[in-house]
Chains A and B, each alone.
Chain A
């Protein structure tokens, strides 16, 4: 090569391709994303966070909470449970059939086959979708996080490292007094916590400042508890959220 022009041209093409893929592509695909319907419901998701929670997001940003906490939950996949809703005209035959079948922990195809056989015998069934994965078993979420969960946030801080627990569903796990006590002295309610204390967020004694209240409002607004087309799950059969005021964070 005798001129720098070819190097620039090559770099332009190489970087331009990845720019189109990873900048332009997502902006076109996700930048125009709107609200979506909650599955089997007329509700719209997501709603704008309340005003103090929106302010709290800025406290979350300013204190760099994302240096230790993620707000994204993953899942390995889903399993299906087939549930009998009505035994129909011939309950004995249906019950005999059911006792010979495996009804839980099925793949989608297996679940379809099972419910097909039960309905052929006259019973009616429902298929429940159960997300599985380590994060789900830890009660960090009812389903995996999807793009919609972050629609109104600016900046979007998914976090890159879990020095502390994931917060994607913090609002489902704890209440305001727990959060404030935790910020003031993390080791008061989680014995082994390695989180630094945020006493500077409190005015005198343990009176929370506006920032602390907003931050807690934001944390409590973190709840991805509705079933969506991208991430379906069955509410009734899904594992219940961890009890409030749990003594230790799982």
Chain B
């Protein structure tokens, strides 16, 4: 082991327990979330299923599933990856490692409280903000705790110059507490009056799903790509320009066209959507120049994950920006096209980037190889086919539904009945995603079990009066 590897092995080891906690929480909630998502989609196979069970009615299970996946899986896993990236970039051990361990557990309880509350009918009724006070306070506190540990590690960095990955991840640490507290204060604690509620909810959803997930996913991908490709991001200045313009324009997207609000709000979103093309072009140039001519065998590993995540990011962002155009929004605005885009953003872009980073970090962190290395490539394939079967049918369904809605002579019941076949195919996509998630969880929990066994053995060895091997150390 050379000096550099030794240095990083100590850094990685300092992340071990916090990351195991956060990844463990994430893996469990991903599986629960996808299972709930599948239960919700069962209603499209037989609407009378579960009719006598109010806890499992579609309107409760769907938000519970979405929140379990976003708050239960994406966020803790992203924060775990972020801690590791900060420690690596700082060339310092993770500071305050106990804090994220505690926070990870608080987080899991917060999500549990929130999901159970939705299922028993205690949802707040605001999209992506359904967790009532009990759950959201815990999540907020846990986020701040993890941010403290991340900032302490960031402050201890040896190389003062910031890396591009730093910009994105630091901004995301700042972004979430602001949007989450604003939304909870204005909508849940002291609700404002009338449709201002809806506007704030759209602002929050856009900032969470488009901006926050964008910052996190890009931050992770812009760490993985240069690390594995073995050369810095090409170029740093393009990345900086795209970063600033993304933060400036993207938070203004997301107000649907034709909403019953003063018309300057959707108009501002339309302008912002088109301006967001500027940072997207910037990111595309950076991505293209960084991976061009690099000879890395990706073999379904983390490099593949990062590249795939970036490509999906462009697709999903373009799908999203298109809805800012009043003409397109008039067709697809209230159809299955919108959930299709959200699924693409969550499962195709952020989840893939985070899982790639997790697979990249785990062998070093645990100091042994993944127990099931084949699962990495298998999960990638399962997610790709799962996304294909989930997103494409929903997007096509949304467009065809939207076009039919333009013609008032087609009865609505006929249109909604016509969506069923697409929705049934998308259940299959969810099922493939669940299989992929199981592979992720198996690797995480197998590694935890192996590590615990090792710990137990080492502990037992200290209890024995003589070393087991019989060799007496001098």
Residues of A within 8 A of B (CB): 1-4, 7-8, 10-12, 14-15, 17-19, 21-23, 25-27, 29-33, 61-68, 70, 72, 74, 134, 137-138, 144-151, 153-165, 186-187, 190-201, 248-250
Residue among B244, B258, B407, B419 with max Cβ neighbours from chain A (10 Å): B258
Encoded as 1 (CB less than 8 Å from any A CB) or 0, chain B from 227 to 263 comes to: 0000000000000000010011001100110111110
Answer whether A30 and B58 are a contact pair too, CB < 8 Å, given A2-B161, A137-B408, A151-B194.
Answer: no
25 contacts between A and B (CB under 8 A): A1-B162, A4-B162, A7-B166, A7-B174, A10-B171, A11-B170, A14-B244, A17-B248, A19-B182, A26-B195, A30-B193, A61-B124, A63-B57, A64-B59, A65-B59, A74-B258, A147-B261, A149-B260, A150-B198, A160-B334, A193-B413, A196-B43, A196-B49, A196-B50, A200-B53
B255 contact set on A, CB distance < 8 A: 22
User: Which are the 8 A-B pairs with shortest beta-carbon distances?
Assistant: A64-B59, A62-B121, A137-B408, A18-B251, A61-B125, A145-B260, A14-B247, A155-B125
- Is A250's CB under 8 angstroms from B60's CB? no
In angstroms, Cα B54 to Cα A165, docked, is: 22
In angstroms, Cα B406 to Cα A120, docked, is: 40
- Is B62's CB under 8 angstroms from A21's CB? no
A21 contact set on B, CB distance < 8 A: 252, 268
Q: Which of B43, B122, B247, B330 contacts A10 (CB 8 A)?
A: B247
In angstroms, Cα B26 to Cα A161, docked, is: 28
Q: Which of B53, B154, B197 contacts A155 (CB 8 A)?
A: B197
B63 within 8 A of A: yes
Answer whether A196 and B57 are a contact pair too, CB < 8 Å, given A22-B200, A161-B338.
Answer: yes
B414 within 8 A of A: yes
In angstroms, Cα B412 to Cα A137, docked, is: 12
B196 within 8 A of A: yes
Answer whether A162 and B335 are a contact pair too, CB < 8 Å, given A22-B203, A22-B265, A250-B408.
Answer: yes
Q: Which of B193, B258, B413 contacts A33 (CB 8 A)?
A: B193
Answer whether A64 and B57 are a contact pair too, CB < 8 Å, given A30-B199, A31-B192, A155-B191.
Answer: yes
- Is A199's CB under 8 angstroms from B51's CB? yes
Q: Which of A67, A160, A165 contacts B412 (CB 8 A)?
A: A165
Encoded as 1 (CB less than 8 Å from any A CB) or 0, chain B from 157 to 189 comes to: 000111000110011001100110010001100
B179 contact set on A, CB distance < 8 A: 15
B471 within 8 A of A: no
- Is B48's CB under 8 angstroms from A63's CB? no
In angstroms, Cα B207 to Cα A23, docked, is: 12
B63 contact set on A, CB distance < 8 A: 64, 67
- Is B175's CB under 8 angstroms from A64's CB? no
Encoded as 1 (CB less than 8 Å from any A CB) or 0, chain B from 408 to 444 comes to: 1001111011011000000000000000000000000
Q: A30-B194, A144-B258, A200-B53 are in contact. List 18 more A-B contacts (CB 8 A).
A: A1-B161, A1-B167, A14-B251, A17-B251, A22-B202, A26-B261, A30-B262, A64-B63, A70-B334, A74-B330, A138-B408, A155-B191, A155-B197, A160-B256, A163-B419, A193-B416, A194-B420, A201-B54
Dominant secondary structure at the B interface: helix
In angstroms, Cα B187 to Cα A234, docked, is: 36
- Is A134's CB under 8 angstroms from B406's CB? yes
In angstroms, Cα B413 to Cα A192, docked, is: 6
- Is B336's CB under 8 angstroms from A158's CB? no
In angstroms, Cα B256 to Cα A22, docked, is: 13
Among residues of A, the one whose C-beta sits closest to the C-beta of B246 is A14
B202 contact set on A, CB distance < 8 A: 22
B405 within 8 A of A: yes
B187 contact set on A, CB distance < 8 A: 155
Answer whether A154 and B191 are a contact pair too, CB < 8 Å, given A62-B123, A134-B407.
Answer: yes
State the Cβ distance, A151 to closest chain B Cβ, in Å: 5
Among residues of B, the one whose C-beta sits closest to the C-beta of A146 is B260
Within 8 A of A (CB), among B133-169: 151, 154, 160-162, 166-167
Q: Which of B48, B191, B407 contacts A197 (CB 8 A)?
A: B48
A155 contact set on B, CB distance < 8 A: 124-126, 187, 191, 197
B178 contact set on A, CB distance < 8 A: 15, 19
In angstroms, Cα B269 to Cα A163, docked, is: 25
- Is B57's CB under 8 angstroms from A156's CB? no
Among residues of A, the one whose C-beta sits closest to the C-beta of B262 is A29
B52 within 8 A of A: yes
B371 within 8 A of A: no
